Amino acid sequence: MLDAATLSRVDQVALAVRERVAGGAYVPGQRIVEAAVAAEFGASRGVVREAFRRLAAEGVLDLEPHRGAVVRRLARADVQAIAPIREVLEGLAARLAAGASGAAAPLRTSLAAQHAAEASDDPVGAFARENLAFHGLILDLADNPRLAESLRPLSTPLSRMTYARLLSRAARDRARAEHVRVVEALIAGDGAAAEATMRAHVRSASEELLRLPHPLLA
């Protein structure tokens, strides 16, 4: 059994690899070398191996014989299957988050950061990070750990594709406008509107993902 310190190191390595996939540093089909990750983070091979196993369970990596850990490449059918489930669960998160105590300030701060991302040196990367943080904030406000556990395996494998979708300025502008509508409903405490606007946002994003160039899909 792994002790608490080891589990903490596993969490750190898993988080770092997950963020690199989300931010486009690791691309679909890329092999991630266990020894290189262990050396970079000053972690044992056992810690890295456990982090890889965790990420494989989340659908971020595939563990292939003779190749090791490889960033998962989704099939178009995977995206089509995930989309309606994400829509329902993200909508539920928004409904539960509506009217949450103290929500207005962090939600407005998130919107401001999303708008500021466009003026940064890396608007795509900056907005991609703020986009992830926005959806994570709503999950936090929903305050339902089981819902968060259900959403992560569906959302994380799509993160690299989401980055590619956001290469388009028009896509970023649409996402920001849709986020504003979600936030307005959340701050008003209107659960039905929050759910409807979030579902529309996720549905729109999923449709854009399915229009991405074929090389991004298996």
Task: Please give the chain's pLDDT, 218 residues, in tens.
Answer: 445 556 688 999 998 998 888 767 888 888 999 999 999 999 999 999 999 999 998 888 999 988 899 988 888 888 899 999 999 999 999 999 998 999 999 999 999 999 999 999 999 989 988 998 999 999 999 999 999 989 877 887 787 778 788 989 999 999 999 999 999 999 999 999 999 999 999 999 999 988 887 666 66
Structure tokens of 10?
């596993």
Which residue, among 64, 63, 94, 72, has the nearest Cα to 153 in the 3D structure?
Answer: 72
Query: Does residue 85 share a domain with residue 27?
Result: no
The domain that contains 82 carries what CATH number? 1.20.120.530
Q: How many domains in the chain?
A: 2
Structure tokens of 64?
């292939």
Which residue, among 8, 15, 28, 10, has the nearest Cα to 132 in the 3D structure?
Answer: 15
Query: Does residue 37 share a domain with residue 66?
Result: yes
Q: Which domain holds residue 88?
A: 76-216
Which residue, 27, 46, 71, sits at the end of a domain? 71
Alpha helices in 59-103 (DSSP H): 76-97
Coil, helix or strand for 143? coil
Query: Does residue 147 share a domain with residue 53?
Result: no
Query: Does residue 139 share a domain with residue 48?
Result: no
Query: Does residue 118 share a domain with residue 44?
Result: no
Query: Does residue 151 share a domain with residue 61?
Result: no
Distance between CA atoms of residues 150 and 73, nearest Å: 20
- Residue-level pLDDT at 1: 45
